[in-house]
Amino acid sequence: MARTKASITDLAQQLGVSVSTVSRALSDHPGISDATKKRVWKLAKELHYQPNHLAAGLRKGRSNLLGVLVPHIDGHFFTLVVKGIETIASKAGYNIMICQSNEDVAHERKNIETLLSAQVEGILVSMSRTTRDFKHFEKVRKQEIPLVFFDRVLDGLDVSAVVLDDREGGYQSTKHLIKQGCRRIAHFSGPQHLNIYKHRRQGYIDALLEAGLPIVEELIFTCDMTLEDGIEGMQQMLALTNPPDAVFSASDFSVVGALQELKRRKLRVPQDIALAGFSNETFTSLTEPMLTSVDQRCEQMGQSAVRLFLEMREEHSSTFSPRRVVLQPDLLVRESSERVSGKK
Amino acid sequence: MARTKASITDLAQQLGVSVSTVSRALSDHPGISDATKKRVWKLAKELHYQPNHLAAGLRKGRSNLLGVLVPHIDGHFFTLVVKGIETIASKAGYNIMICQSNEDVAHERKNIETLLSAQVEGILVSMSRTTRDFKHFEKVRKQEIPLVFFDRVLDGLDVSAVVLDDREGGYQSTKHLIKQGCRRIAHFSGPQHLNIYKHRRQGYIDALLEAGLPIVEELIFTCDMTLEDGIEGMQQMLALTNPPDAVFSASDFSVVGALQELKRRKLRVPQDIALAGFSNETFTSLTEPMLTSVDQRCEQMGQSAVRLFLEMREEHSSTFSPRRVVLQPDLLVRESSERVSGKK
DNA sequence: ACTGTTTATGCAAACGTACGCAAAGCAACC
DNA sequence: GGTTGCTTTGCGTACGTTTGCATAAACAGT
C-alpha cells in the first residue's frame, strides 16, 4: 500500500494531532497522556513506522556514531579489538563505522575526512604503518571530537591512547627464557619506527641487562616479521659461530618460521633452542611444540578505547587532558620454552 | 576562534553570497563561475569547513550507509568477509555499519531495527545460529531495502544470497580422499539445520555413492565442530571394531582435534589415517603435517555480496527478482591427505 | 530596440525530527 | 468569579543541505 516510508508527520495527520505530540509520544515523554501514546504507538506499528536517525541526529546535533580506523581488518589482533569496540559501543548506544587504511597514509587521510563528514562523535584509530606525522589528526582535534589511539601511537604525542605495555611483554618473555637457563637469547624485531616493536626490544634489552647478560648485536635480527622472515632469521642465527640457545620473537608468525627451520634441521625445541613469540595467535597452541607467547588483551583493548572515548565525551573540552591506559600483557608459557620441567 | 563548526550558511554569510551558491560551488556544479568557486573553496579551507553527511543524507534521501550484520567478528571467516565488504563498499562510496548478533535471534532483531533507523541503503547479513524464521527480515523487504544474505541462509527462501557451493566442497574433499586410496571415510559434521553443514555432508555422501562405497552411519559424527569435539569424535572412531582410514571434517578446528588425538596414539597421518578439513584457517598450513582443507573464498564472498547489493539498488523494485551467487570452493591438498606421493 | 539564449546567482521549500514556549482545558481553592 | 496549578497539546523554528524554479545580467542576433 504505502510504498513510501511513513514519517512522524504522516502519523500526525492520520491521527489529527500535531507532529510534536507524535514525537513526544514516541519517545515516551511524560507530558503526553497514555491514551494518546497508545493511539500513536498503534498506528506506528500499522504503518511500519521507522524512526529516522539521520533527521534526529541532525536536530539533536548527535549522530550516535563512533568511527573506527584500522590498518586492516584481517588477522587476529584488529579483529578482536574491533569486536571489543563493537560490544561496548553498542551497549552505550553507539553504532560503529569501520574504515581500513590499508597501511597507507593517503587512505588514512581520506578515511578521517569521511568519518568527520559522517558526523561521528569520536574516532578510535590505530595508525597505518606508513604514518609518520600527525597533521591529519589535528583536524579532528580542532573540531573537538574525542580522538583515541590504540596499540599504534606516535610516541611523545599528547593524545589519549590505550596501549599494551609492550616493554613489559618483552621483558617478561626474555626473563622467562633466562630463568629457563638460556644465556644467548636472540631477538627478532620489527620496524623500529613503530612503538610496539621498539618497546618489545627495549624489554628484551632490559631483561638481559638485569641478568648481567651482554647485548649482542648479531643476535638481534630486524625484519618485517613474516613467517618467511622468521625462516631467514633462524638461518642467519644458525650460521653464527656461536648460535643462540633461544629466540624471543616480537611476532608469532616469525617464530613459526623459526620453528619450521629448526625442525627441518632436526634440532629440538626447546632443548636445543627455546622459542617465544608475541600476540598469542590462534595457531600458537596448535603447533608442535605449542608456542610460548604473550597475550595482548586485544578485546580488552577495544573495550578500554571505547570507555576512554566515553569519558572524554563527558568532560568539558577545557578541562580536557589526554589520558593513557596501559594494559598489562599476559605471558603464556607453553612447551616451546619449558626446559625446566619443574613446577612453577 | 570559531569554536563551533562552520556550516554552509556561515560560508555564505562571510562571502556575501547565497547558501545555494555555496552548496553548488562545493559540489563543483557547472553553473557556478570559477571565480566564485575558488573563493568558496578558499574560505572553506580556512574555516575547516566539514560537510554534514547527516543533513545531506536527509535532504537527498540517501545515507551512503551499508549495514552489515554478522554473528560475530572474531574468527577467520567473518573477518575476511567483512574485509571484502569494506573494500568494495568504500570504492562504491558507501560506509559500512557493523553489528554482531552474537548468535542470538533477539540481538539480531534489535540490530535490524538499529540498521533501519540508521537509514542504511542495504543490509548484508549472515544469520545467527539460533535463527529459524524470517519475520524480522520481512520488515526490511517491506521497506524495499535491498537485503543480501551470505554464507548462512534459510533454505528454500526466495532471497538474494551469495553462498559457497558447500556440497561441491564436501564432494571434492571426499573424492580426493577416495582417490588417495581411502575406503572407509568418516565424516565430522555440524548442526544440521545450518545449510552449510547439511550441504557439506551431502557432498560427502554423493562422492561415496558415486564411487560405489557404502554410507556407514557409525562413521558420521555430528557435533558442534570445536577442537574438543574433534578429539572426542576421533576417539569414538578409533573405538570402532573397524576404524576409518580417513576423516573428512566440516571444520578445521575439529580436524585439528582429530590430529592431536592421532598423534597422542602415535598413529601416522596420512599413512594410517588421512585427514581433510574445511575453511582453510590460517593454522592449517602451520600444523604438522599441514592440513588439507577447502578455501571458502571469504573475501570474495564479501565482495560479491556488495556487488549484488549494488545491482539490486539499480533495479526497479517491481522488476526485482532475487539473485543467487554461488562461489566455487577451492580444495587445497596438503600433507595430511597425500598418500600417493605421485604427481598430480 | 526587440527577442532569444546563455551564464551566474538567489529564493524558498523541502527532508524528518526535537524542543522551548505558549495555550487550552479543567479542577480546585479561597 | 477570579486566581492558581496541573495536565495535555500545538505552534513555530531550527538543524545543514539540496534543488526546482525564478531572476538578473550579459551578450548575441536580427
Per-residue pLDDT of chain A (344 residues; tens, 9 = 90+): 344 689 999 999 999 999 999 999 999 998 898 999 999 999 999 999 999 999 999 999 999 999 999 999 988 999 999 999 999 999 999 999 999 999 999 999 999 999 999 999 999 999 998 888 888 998 888 888 999 999 998 877 789 999 999 999 999 999 999 999 999 999 999 999 888 999 999 999 999 999 999 999 999 999 999 999 999 999 999 999 999 999 999 999 999 999 999 999 999 999 999 999 999 999 999 998 999 999 999 999 999 999 999 999 988 666 678 999 999 999 999 999 998 764 44
Is the per-residue pLDDT at B59 higher than 70?
Answer: yes
- A208, part of any domain: yes
| Strands A160-164, A147-150: pairing kind | parallel
- A57, part of any domain: no
| Residues near B105 by beta carbon (within 8 Å), at least 6 away in sequence | B128, B130, B131, B132, B136
- A39, part of any domain: yes
- B2, part of any domain: no
For helices B8-15 and B34-46, the axis angle rounded to 10 degrees is 120
Residues A160 and A302 in one domain: yes
- A344, part of any domain: no
Residues B103 and B171 in one domain: no
Residues A91 and A194 in one domain: no
**A239: buried, middle or exposed (CB in 10 Å: 19+, 13-18, 0-12)?**
exposed
Going from the C-alpha of B70 to that of each of A300, B198, B309, the distances in angstroms are: 20, 20, 16
> In the complex, which nucleotide's C1' lies nearest to the CA atom of residue B117?
C16
Residues A44 and A74 in one domain: no
CATH code of A135's domain: 3.40.50.2300
pLDDT tens for each residue of A29-82: 988 989 999 999 999 999 999 999 999 999 999 999 999 999 999 889 999 999
B99 touches A: beta carbon within 8 Å: yes
From residues 26-65 of B, which are strand C contacts by CB within 7 A? 30-36, 55, 58-59, 61
State whether B143 and A79 contact (CB < 8 Å): no
- B73, part of any domain: yes
A98 touches B: beta carbon within 8 Å: yes
Is the per-residue pLDDT at B343 higher than 50?
Answer: no
Residues A189 and A273 in one domain: yes
The rounded distance, in Å, linking the Cα atoms of B295 and B332 is: 7
Residues B152 and B176 in one domain: no
Is the per-residue pLDDT at B128 higher than 50?
Answer: yes
DSSP symbol at A261: H
DSSP symbol at B1: -
Q: Which three cell numbers stand for residue A126?
A: 590505530
CA distance B214 to chain A (A): 34
| Structural domains counted in chain A | 3
Q: Which three cell numbers stand for residue B279?
A: 575453511
| B142 compared with B50, residue with greater pLDDT | B50
- B313, part of any domain: yes
Q: Which three cell numbers stand for residue A47?
A: 504503518
| Nearest Cα to Cα of residue B40 among B69, B63, B17, B57 | B17
The rounded distance, in Å, linking the Cα atoms of B266 and B263 is: 5
Residues B302 and B159 in one domain: yes
CATH code of A34's domain: 1.10.260.40
Residues A201 and A265 in one domain: yes
Residues A189 and A121 in one domain: no
Going from the C-alpha of B214 to that of each of B198, B199, B242, the distances in angstroms are: 19, 18, 14
Strand C: list positions under 7 Å from protein Cβ. 7-20
Residues A135 and A114 in one domain: yes
Predicted pLDDT at B181: 95
Residues B311 and B221 in one domain: no
Q: Which residue in chain A is spatially nearest to B50 when comparing CA positions?
A: A117
| Residues near A302 by beta carbon (within 8 Å), at least 6 away in sequence | A80, A81, A82, A83, A84, A85, A86, A87, A88, A150
Tell me which H or E stretch contains A227.
helix A227-238
Range of the domain at B15: 8-51
Residues A129 and A233 in one domain: no
State whether B98 and A86 contact (CB < 8 Å): yes
The rounded distance, in Å, linking the Cα atoms of B187 and B203 is: 11
pLDDT tens for each residue of B269-311: 999 999 999 999 999 999 989 999 999 999 999 999 999 999 9
Predicted pLDDT at A229: 97
Across chain B, what does the average pLDDT equal?
Answer: 93
